[in-house]
């Protein structure tokens, strides 16, 4: 790959020397070289060839001074370009410069961008030409909404995928969270120390969630909405109710069903079904476990966890007393050892309800038999 | 002779006006509690969702449930005081509490239905008595556990924390038993058994002690003030339990998070993060996949001893053939993680 690029550069250089234009190309940072059609044999009406573009853009220290005072490096490393997903490895064939920069030749078309950010926002829509679906979904995302609202820092295609050095976005898998962390640095720092983040980044664990497993990819929705909140337990359940997945780590899959059978869970479920936009004060998973800073929860007998639990409860129940948190069973079904009274009460009704039903069935059945006997006897 | 509520029984009627009102209140409260409670127990079922929507949502359903519970508790207070009045003033025993005889009647009825025993003439008084017993026991359990669930914080100052899930289990399961029982039993009472209430009243009246009008008036004067005080205290207690405790805050506090924060400098670099960052950056193109140096003589960076400030400066400004990388290209925090990895002794 590097040899091919070197040959390309060598060829361009020889051509330049042959036509005697090499000396005319400025090398100073604030001077722009002037390629000519003759050098790259690209007629005016045809797209500029890669050689035409790279004639200037491979030169080191090429920068563009924007009206706002910023400078943008416009030096392109052919190696980087060739190694990107749009390079030689692309099954559709390598993209040419003009595929993403149509109608660009020297002198470049004028731009209204005053800053590098404005220029990026001006240019990113070109991705739509090939990635219509992803582009459209991104427009419908929280990033798209913030961008339309004037928040220019909201991510666009190239912020996550890069411009010329685009790599497979999920290879390695850690790249996903590292990409989000570029803008969401504070959240990334919380995540990397969490049970999920440390497993992903330190151990390369393939099972823990990255950012997109909870937030989605291109159509990322606003996670601060009530709708997201009441649906969030389902996100956790995607993994934590999965027997096969949790079995690998000896984690109970009762977390979701015990939550749903609890006062909080049943209420949130009802809200999610009936009025997802109405604010509820009932706790969802992340109210107790944290959002991005989720820590590992060890066995329910851990006293530190119990002490922390009261603090957690008091976030929503300010008057909660020391024994209040013992009302929470820790996502585990009651046992004779852990909650004996509850265990016995449950077992009592496990017997009593069928007995009552049986007695009532016998009662009605026997009354029917009486009526049949009476009818038969006249 | 007074009826259960202390009122005179009118000829030809089995229930006095007070009793009819009591019955109406009980029926309304129970139907209301069932309609608002069962959908909560089976909240995942479509029919439950349908009913809750009809009731105006889960919060409305819970408010209605609480209102019906207050109604039932008020009726229970009145009923207990009325029974106490009849017992204290007239010496009338509670007529609807079943005894051993009534359970035998019930068993005889089933065995007779099945042809295993000949029918007796002992009547169907058991039907009302067993129904009354189940209703009273269930009401006591449901009210007690309901108060715990309504006031979990107050409850855990008296009972253990485990009392909350225990109360929930009992409340939920006992309600189910009561519903099943009432539906079937009422059907049998109305369409099959036709128990005679008058007969029970007659038995009760026959066993009542003879008291003079003066005795009755005297006892009535003694009873009423005490009853009023007890009633007032119980009503206040019910109201306090119903509205007294602010169990939870109205809205869960929103977490404040800085969403857009590209330049966050952690307290310390994480070599693990640096290691996974490295191959995702352009650094590896020149310095090698493991930062052990590039093919064109680019320097190895592993085991670097450069202090972070110098490293930071070099990356931001560039050096020799190495271009400068802006903070937009490479956030400060990531730079620290990379430096942590590079400066960590490699194995």
pLDDT tens-digit series, residues A138-160: 999 999 999 999 999 999 999 99
C-alpha angle B7-B8-B9 in degrees, rounded to nearest 5: 115
Q: With a cut of 60, say whether residue A1 has pLDDT above it.
A: no
The number of folded domains in chain A is 3
The answer to whether A315 contacts chain B (CB < 8 Å) is: yes
Same domain flag for A62 and A131: no
With residue A40 as reference, give the H or E element that holds it. Answer: helix A37-40
Is residue A296 situated within a structural domain? no
At residue A47, the pLDDT reads 75
And the tokens for B243?
């509205």
Query: Could you say which residues from 243 to 272 on chain B have a Cβ atom under 8 Å away from some Cβ of chain A?
Result: 245-255, 257-264, 266, 270, 272
Q: With a cut of 90, say whether residue A261 has pLDDT above it.
A: no
| Domain final residue pick, A137, A152, A167 | A167
For residue A192, the chain B residues in CB contact (below 8 A) are 270, 273
Query: Could you say which residues from 101 to 140 on chain B have a Cβ atom under 8 Å away from some Cβ of chain A?
Result: 110, 112-115
Query: Could you say which residues from 186 to 205 on chain A have a Cβ atom under 8 Å away from some Cβ of chain B?
Result: 186-189, 192, 198, 201-202, 204
Query: Could you say which residues from 271 to 290 on chain B have a Cβ atom under 8 Å away from some Cβ of chain A?
Result: 272-273, 276-277, 279-280, 282, 285
Query: Could you say which residues from 32 to 61 on chain B have a Cβ atom under 8 Å away from some Cβ of chain A?
Result: 40, 43-44, 49, 52-53, 57-58
Is residue A312 situated within a structural domain? no
Low-confidence ranges of chain B (pLDDT < 50): 1-12
Alpha carbon distance B226, B137 (integer Å) = 25
pLDDT tens-digit series, residues A150-207: 999 999 999 999 989 899 999 999 999 999 999 999 999 999 999 999 999 999 999 9
Closest-CA residue in chain B for A82? Answer: B285
Q: Mean pLDDT throughout A119-130?
A: 93
Is residue A239 situated within a structural domain? no
Its pTM stands at: 0.78
At residue A128, the pLDDT reads 95
At residue A298, the pLDDT reads 65
With both helix axes pointing from N to C terminus, report the angle between B125-150 and B100-113 in degrees, rounded to the nearest 10. 110
Determine whether the interchain pair B321/A266 forms a contact, defined as Cβ–Cβ distance below 8 Å.
Answer: no
C-alpha angle B285-B291-B292 in degrees, rounded to nearest 5: 115
Determine whether the interchain pair A317/B248 forms a contact, defined as Cβ–Cβ distance below 8 Å.
Answer: yes
Q: Give the residue carrying structure tokens 């009325």.
A: B82
The answer to whether A104 contacts chain B (CB < 8 Å) is: no
Query: Could you say which residues from 280 to 339 on chain B have a Cβ atom under 8 Å away from some Cβ of chain A?
Result: 280, 282, 285, 295, 321, 323, 328, 331, 333-334
Residue A134 Cα distances to A105, A141, A211, B124, angstroms: 29, 10, 17, 75
pLDDT tens-digit series, residues B18-67: 888 999 999 999 999 999 999 988 887 889 989 998 998 888 999 999 99
Nearest to A324 among B156, B251, B328 (CB): B156
pLDDT tens-digit series, residues A70-85: 888 888 888 888 889 9
Same domain flag for A21 and A125: no
Q: With a cut of 70, say whether residue A41 has pLDDT above it.
A: no
Residue B8 Cα distances to B2, B3, B83, B95, angstroms: 4, 6, 14, 16
Same domain flag for A3 and A80: yes
Same domain flag for A86 and A16: yes
Is residue A313 situated within a structural domain? no
At residue A302, the pLDDT reads 44
At residue A184, the pLDDT reads 95
Beta partners for residue A73, in sequence order: A63
Q: Phi/psi zone of residue B210: left (φ > 0), alpha (ψ -120 to 50 degrees), beta?
A: beta
At residue B241, the pLDDT reads 79
Alpha carbon distance A69, A346 (integer Å) = 73
Same domain flag for A48 and A106: yes
Is residue A177 situated within a structural domain? no
Is residue A246 situated within a structural domain? no
Q: Which residues of B161-194 are buried (b: 16+ CB within 10 A; e: fewer)?
A: bbbbbbbbbbbbbbbbbbbebbebbeebbeebbe
Nearest to A370 among B113, B328, B333 (CB): B113
Determine whether the interchain pair A362/B43 forms a contact, defined as Cβ–Cβ distance below 8 Å.
Answer: no
Could you report the predicted ipTM of this complex, rounded to two decimals? Answer: 0.80
Judge contact between A324 and A310, C-beta under 8 A: yes
Mutation target to probe the B interface, by most B beta carbons within 10 A, among A76, A175, A186 is: A186
Query: β-pairing, A71-73 with A63-65?
Result: antiparallel
Determine whether the interchain pair A363/B112 forms a contact, defined as Cβ–Cβ distance below 8 Å.
Answer: no
Same domain flag for A54 and A30: yes
Residue A151 Cα distances to A107, A121, A142, A155, B257, angstroms: 31, 11, 11, 9, 17
At residue A327, the pLDDT reads 87
At residue A29, the pLDDT reads 37
Same domain flag for A24 and A103: yes
Q: Which domain holds residue A47?
A: 1-110
Q: Mean pLDDT throughout A100-123?
A: 87
**Domains (ranges, CATH) in chain B?**
17-243 (1.20.950), 271-343 (1.10.760.10)
Alpha carbon distance A118, A139 (integer Å) = 17
At residue A129, the pLDDT reads 93
Is residue A233 situated within a structural domain? no
Same domain flag for A72 and A139: no
At residue B139, the pLDDT reads 95
Closest-CA residue in chain A for B165? Answer: A327
Mutation target to probe the A interface, by most A beta carbons within 10 A, among B167, B273, B335 is: B273
Same domain flag for A69 and A163: no
Closest-CA residue in chain A for B191? Answer: A367
At residue A249, the pLDDT reads 92
Same domain flag for A7 and A93: yes
And the tokens for A274?
């009936």
Instruction: Provide the shortest C-alpha distance from residue B60 to chain A (in Å).
Output: 12
| Domain final residue pick, A93, A110, A127 | A110
Closest-CA residue in chain B for A84? Answer: B282
* Percent above pLDDT 90 for chain A: 47
Sign of CA dihedral A235, A238, A239, A241: positive
Instruction: Provide the shortest C-alpha distance from residue B183 to chain A (in Å).
Output: 10
Same domain flag for A83 and A138: no
Q: Give the residue carrying structure tokens 């035998």.
A: B104
And the tokens for B272?
């693990």
Is residue A102 situated within a structural domain? yes
Give the model's confidence band at A355: pLDDT under 50 very low, under 70 low, under 90 confident, else very high: very high
For residue A2, the chain B residues in CB contact (below 8 A) are 295
Same domain flag for A60 and A125: no
Three-class secondary structure of residue A65 per DSSP: strand
């Amino acid at each position: 790959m590097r040899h091919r690029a070197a040959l390309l550069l060598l060829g361009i250089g020889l051509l330049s020397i042959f036509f005697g234009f090499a000396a005319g190309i400025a090398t100073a940072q604030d001077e722009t070289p002037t390629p000519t059609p003759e050098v790259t044999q690209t007629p005016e009406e045809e797209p500029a060839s890669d050689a035409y573009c790279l004639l200037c853009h491979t030169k080191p220290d090429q920068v563009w001074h924007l009206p706002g005072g910023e400078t943008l490096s416009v030096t392109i490393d052919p190696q980087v370009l060739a190694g990107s997903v749009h390079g030689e490895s692309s099954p559709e064939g390598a993209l040419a410069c003009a595929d993403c920069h149509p109608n660009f030749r020297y002198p470049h078309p004028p731009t209204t961008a005053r800053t590098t950010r404005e220029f990026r926002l001006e240019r990113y829509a070109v991705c739509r030409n090939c990635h219509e679906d992803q582009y459209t979904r991104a427009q419908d995302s929280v990033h798209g909404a913030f961008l339309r609202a004037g928040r220019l820092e909201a991510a666009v295609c190239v912020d996550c995928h890069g411009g010329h050095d685009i790599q497979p976005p999920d290879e390695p898998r850690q790249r996903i969270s590292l990409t989000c962390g570029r803008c969401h640095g504070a959240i990334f720092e919380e995540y990397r120390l969490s049970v999920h983040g440390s497993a992903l980044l330190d151990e390369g664990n393939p099972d823990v969630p990255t950012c997109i497993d909870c937030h989605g990819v291109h159509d990322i929705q606003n996670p601060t909405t009530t709708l997201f909140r009441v649906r969030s337990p389902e996100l956790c359940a995607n993994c934590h109710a999965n027997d096969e997945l949790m079995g690998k780590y000896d984690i109970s899959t009762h977390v979701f069903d015990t939550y749903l059978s609890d006062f909080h869970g049943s209420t949130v479920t009802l809200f999610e079904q009936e009025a997802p936009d109405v604010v509820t004060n009932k706790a969802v998973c992340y109210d107790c476990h944290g959002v991005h800073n989720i820590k590992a929860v060890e066995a329910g007998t851990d006293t530190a966890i119990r002490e922390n639990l009261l603090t957690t409860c008091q976030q929503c129940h300010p008057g909660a007393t020391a024994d209040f948190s013992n009302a929470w069973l820790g996502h585990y079904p009651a046992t004779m050892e852990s909650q004996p009274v509850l265990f016995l009460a449950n077992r009592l009704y496990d017997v009593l309800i069928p007995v009552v039903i049986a007695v009532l069935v016998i009662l009605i059945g026997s009354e029917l038999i009486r009526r049949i006997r009476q009818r038969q006897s006249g | 002779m007074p009826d259960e509520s202390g009122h005179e029984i009118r000829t030809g009627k089995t229930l006095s006006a007070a009793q009819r009102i009591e019955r109406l209140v009980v029926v309304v409260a129970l139907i209301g509690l069932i309609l608002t409670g069962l959908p909560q127990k089976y909240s995942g079922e479509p029919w439950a969702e349908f009913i809750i929507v009809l009731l105006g949502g889960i919060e409305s359903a819970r408010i209605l449930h609480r209102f019906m519970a207050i109604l039932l508790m008020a009726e229970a207070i009145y009923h207990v005081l009325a029974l106490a009045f009849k017992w204290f003033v007239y010496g009338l025993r509670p007529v609807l509490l079943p005894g051993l005889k009534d359970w035998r009647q019930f068993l005889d009825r089933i065995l007779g239905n099945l042809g295993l025993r000949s029918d007796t003439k002992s009547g169907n008084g058991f039907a009302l008595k067993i129904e009354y017993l189940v209703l009273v026991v269930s009401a006591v359990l449901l009210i007690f556990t309901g108060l715990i669930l309504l006031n979990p914080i107050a409850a855990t100052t008296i009972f253990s924390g485990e009392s909350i899930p225990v109360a929930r289990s009992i409340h939920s399961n006992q309600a189910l038993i009561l519903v099943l029982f009432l539906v079937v039993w009422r059907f049998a009472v109305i369409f099959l058994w036709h128990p005679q209430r008058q007969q029970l009243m007659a038995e009760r009246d026959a066993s009542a002690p003879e008291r003079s009008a003066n005795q009755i008036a005297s006892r009535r004067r003694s009873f009423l003030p005490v009853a009023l005080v007890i009633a007032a205290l119980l009503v206040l207690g019910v109201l306090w339990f119903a509205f007294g405790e602010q169990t939870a805050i109205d809205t869960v506090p929103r977490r404040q998070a800085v969403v857009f924060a590209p330049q966050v400098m952690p307290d310390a670099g994480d070599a693990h993060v640096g290691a996974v960052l490295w191959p995702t950056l352009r650094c590896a193109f020149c310095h090698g996949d493991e930062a052990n140096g590039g093919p064109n003589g680019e320097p190895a960076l592993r085991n670097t001893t450069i202090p972070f400030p110098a490293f930071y400066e070099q990356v931001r400004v560039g050096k020799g053939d190495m271009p400068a990388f802006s903070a937009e290209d490479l956030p400060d925090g990531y730079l620290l993680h990379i430096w942590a990895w590079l400066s960590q002794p490699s194995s």
